[in-house]
Amino acid sequence: MTDRVFIFDTTLRDGEQSPGVSFNIQEKLEIARQLARLNVDIIEAGFPIASPGDFAAVQAIAREVRGPVIAGLCRANPVDIDRAWEALQEAEHPRIHIVIATSDLHIKHKLQKTRPEVLELAVAAVKQARGYTGDVEFSAEDASRSDLAYLCEVLEATIEAGATTVNIPDTVGYAVPQEFGEFITQIRSRTKGIDQVVVSVHCHNDLGLAVANSLAAVKSGAQQVECAVNGLGERAGNASLEEIVMGLYTRQSYFNKETGIKYDEIYRTSKLVSLLSGMAVQANKAVIGKNAFLHASGIHQDGVLKERSTYEIMNPQLIGLPQSNIVLGKLSGRHAFRERLAELGHMLDGDQLNQAFERFKALTDRKKEITDRDLEALVKNEIKSAPELYQLEYLHISSGTTVVPTATVGLKRNGSTQEEAACGDGPVDAALRAIDKITGLRDINLSEYTISAVTGGKDGKDALGEVTARVEYGGRPFIGRGLSTDVVEASVKAYLNAVNKVIYESGLATDDLGVSGKRRRGRPRKRSEK
Ligand code: KIV
Ligand code: ZN
């Protein structure tokens, strides 16, 4: 008999706390929909009181996404709880998640309270939340550094007050597996009523032990694991969802547990989160890294060819890794294109299919062989997370070892083209400066710029370049992506994508987009006077 472990995904809450990561509402919805397809049990959609944007995202997810429980985080105070409920109330299965710290360190220095005061706040908060919903989770922040007797006292009181899940976070990633497993065993044996509720763990990765600690806790009876796709999260991140799930699956004979996860959605989910967060997955990352199923040594290759399980403990197809080596090209028709996309999990029809097919055809003019990874990039890059106020019309570059790099850029806005030229430190810099002249956005800074080849291309010459540009504006990060066989063009597209998000989310274009907010001051100049 196997038991179920509930997968609580916190990519949209703790994951978004990763330095430099910021999802807009469309991106959060896109990820939540994919998490529902992945069949996680709980989606922690955000922290509604944190900002109006967080509130709106939790509300939108609660309204739209069906299947998983939708949780919203709040501190143990009445205002937070009311706000969380306001955002969650339309969810099919809403959960209020309350957190307050129980370690003396946090109680004294952060909360500046006493142990009895914290206990009282925790109980009052759970009671208030239970007035709204029957699904209430209580988290004892910094539990792993809390006094065990006091922690059990708080858990017991919150269970009596109506908590249905109690979460034991290793907030600062301090625990080690054997000790953390024993900690869970102790909590389970010393807390009255704990067998009536779900025991959860939430481990951070400061010592690289988040997954190991979570799995040790499962072995000791934890029934819910909080984790994030690609291990995103505060500081060094949370336990990585894909590693937890595949650990439980691959070592089922040891854990005797199962999850409800649809394994073949894992790879796709990881790709989507990596794309939208702008956080690349390291090549040697377990389960979903580029190298996770590659065999370089001759001995290993020989072994795998004779019997796959000699060097592979997981089947890459199980997690949805695209397998086909069939390449599409110039002569491929719409049918083959559609079928291939469907095999990759992208069900396109009607206008969406027509547009994607047009882009595919345009790509075949520039690239002889279009692989699965090109197709994935092509389709995913089309995820519209902000209206395209500015679109790239044309780009001319003059560059070389003996000339000052110069770019002329034409952008379309509302049907008319605006052109600017600029010089820069290189062709990309020149093109981005020309864009800034057109948009008139001041104080916009490119803070990160990464470029990667989607595939090697034939002879490595016609690879698709994927650029991620992170810009800072008004103290917030905005991430843009661009794809092209030409890296300068990919860079311009990525930057424009980020600029369009800045304009949309900062409400700078009421005239064109019908969004509320400030109107852009001043008109862009028509031509540079270089
Ligand atoms: O790390 C932590 O303690 C948390 C809680 C809100 C569960 O993120
Ligand atoms: Zn956390």
Alpha carbon nearest to ligand 1 atom 2, residue: 171
298 versus 404: the higher-pLDDT residue is 404
CA of 282 to the centre of ligand 1 (A): 25
- Does the C-beta of 238 come closer than 6 Å to ligand 1? no
Query: Alpha-carbon distance 350 to 497, whole Å?
Result: 25
* Mean pLDDT rounded to a whole number for the chain: 89
Which tokens is 509 given?
A: 């274009």
- The answer, yes or no, to whether any atom of ligand 1 lies below 6 A from the CB of 27, is no
68 CB-side CA count, 13 A: 27
pLDDT, average across residues 241-268: 97
**Ligand approaching nearest to the C-alpha of 239:** 2
Q: Which residues pair with 395 in a beta bridge?
A: 409
Q: What is the distance in A from the centroid of ligand 2 to the CA of 186? A: 22
**pLDDT at 48 > cutoff 90:** yes
384 vs 463, higher pLDDT: 463
210: helix, strand or coil: helix
pLDDT of res. 361:
87
Per-residue pLDDT band for 143 (boundaries 50, 70, 90) equals very high
Give yes or no for residue 159 having a pLDDT over 80: yes
Give percent of the chain with pLDDT exceeding 90: 66
3-state helix, strand and coil shares in percent for the chain, rounded to the nearest 5: 45, 20, 35
Residue whose entry in the numeric block shows the structure tokens 């049990």: 41
Name the most confidently modeled range: 183-197, 325-339, 437-451.
183-197
Q: Which amino acid is at 204?
A: H
CA 171 to centroid of ligand 1, rounded, Å: 6
User: 159-163, 414-418, 512-516 — which one is most confidently predicted on average?
Assistant: 159-163
When pLDDT is cut at 50, 70 and 90, the band that residue 110 belongs to is very high
Is residue 202 lining ligand 1, measured as CB closer than 6 Å?
yes
List Cα–Cα distances, 28 to 96, 268, 271, 379, 463, in angstroms. Answer: 19, 15, 14, 18, 30
Query: What is the pLDDT confidence band of residue 459, given thresholds at 50, 70 and 90?
Result: low
Statement: residue 324 has pLDDT above 60? no
Which of 426, 450, 427 has the alpha carbon at shortest distance from 498?
450
Q: Between 148-161 and 115-130, two packed helices, what is the crossing angle to 10 degrees?
A: 30
- Label the pairing between strands 476-484 and 465-473: antiparallel
Residue 407 and residue 423: Cα distance in Å, rounded? 6
**Res. 1 pLDDT band, cuts 50 70 90:** low
pLDDT at 455 (0 to 100):
61
Q: What is the pLDDT of residue 522?
A: 34
Contacts (Cβ under 8 Å, ≥6 apart) of 332: 364, 370
- The average pLDDT across 120-146 equals 98
Domains parsed from the chain with CATH numbers:
3-277 (3.20.20.70), 334-380 (no CATH), 391-529 (3.30.160.270)
Q: Is the CB of 44 under 6 A from ligand 1?
A: no
239 contacts 214 by C-beta, under 8 angstroms: yes
The pLDDT assigned to 359 comes to: 83
All residues with CB under 5 Å from ion ligand 2: 14
Give the integer Cα–Cα distance in Å for 431 and 491.
9
Q: What stretch of H or E contains 452?
A: strand 445-453
Q: Is the pLDDT higher at 367 or at 276? A: 276
- Quote the tokens at residue 302: 């020989």
Q: Where are the alpha helices (DSSP H) in 131-250?
A: 148-161, 177-190, 210-219, 241-250
pLDDT at residue 516 tops 60: no
Cα(421) to centroid of ligand 1, in Å? 49
Q: Does the structure show a pLDDT above 90 at 297? A: no
Q: Using one digit for the tens of pLDDT, what is the confidence trace for 13-47?
A: 999 999 889 899 999 999 999 999 999 999 999 99
CA dihedral in degrees (365, 368, 374, 380; nearest 10)? 10
pLDDT at 354 over 60: yes
Output the CA–CA distances (angstroms, integers) from residue 260 to 3, 35, 52, 439, in the order listed: 11, 12, 33, 47
- Tell me if 99 CB under 6 Å of ligand 1: yes
Q: So what's the pLDDT on residue 379?
A: 74
Of the candidates 29, 41, 408, 55, which has an alpha carbon nearest to the alpha carbon of residue 224? 41
Mutate which of 11, 12, 14, 44 for ligand 1 pocket (most atoms within 8 A of beta carbon): 14
Rg (CA), the chain: 25
pLDDT of residue 525: 33
Query: Phi, psi (5° rounding) for residue 307?
Result: -160, 110
- Which of 96, 171, 235 is the pocket-test mutation for ligand 1 (most atoms within 8 Å of CB)? 171
Cα-to-centroid distance, 479 and ligand 1 (Å): 25
CA distance 95 to 87: 11
Mean per-residue pLDDT for 89-97? 98
pLDDT given for residue 362 in this prediction: 85
Question: In the sheet where 476-484 sits, what is the strand order?
Answer: 445-453, 465-473, 476-484
The answer on pLDDT for 515 being more than 50 is no
Report the SS3 class of residue 320: coil
Residue 233 CB–ligand 1 contact under 6 Å: no
Q: How confident is the model at residue 350 (pLDDT cuts 50, 70, 90)?
A: confident
Q: For residue 526, name the pLDDT band (cuts at 50, 70, 90).
A: very low
Regarding pTM above 0.85, the answer is: no
Report d(CA 120, CA 140) in Å as an integer: 13
> Is the predicted pLDDT of residue 337 greater than 90, yes or no?
no
Centre a 10 Å sphere on the Cβ of residue 373 and count the other Cβ atoms it contains.
Answer: 17
Query: 512: left (phi > 0), else alpha (psi -120 to 50), else beta?
Result: alpha
Per-residue confidence (pLDDT) for residue 475, from 0 to 100: 85
Going by CA atoms, what residue is nearest to atom 1 of ligand 1? 171
10 Å Cβ neighbour count for 365?
A: 9
Q: How far apart are CA 520 and CA 442, in angstroms?
A: 11
Burial of 158 (0-12, 13-18, 19+ CB in 10 A): buried
Q: Which atom of ligand 1 is closest in space to residue 14's alpha carbon?
A: 8
Ligand 1 within 6 A of CB of 14: yes
Residues 469-478 have a mean pLDDT of: 88
Highest mean pLDDT among 56-60, 273-277, 414-418: 56-60
* Span 290-311, average pLDDT: 85
**Which residue's CA lies nearest to atom 8 of ligand 1?**
14
- What pLDDT, on the 0 to 100 scale, is given for residue 381? 58
Q: Distance between CA atoms of 99 and 343, rounded to whole angstroms?
A: 42
Q: Is residue 171 lining ligand 1, measured as CB closer than 6 Å?
A: yes
Instruction: Please indicate whether residue 94, judged by its CB atom, sits closer than 6 Å to ligand 1.
Output: no
Residue 461: what pLDDT?
A: 59
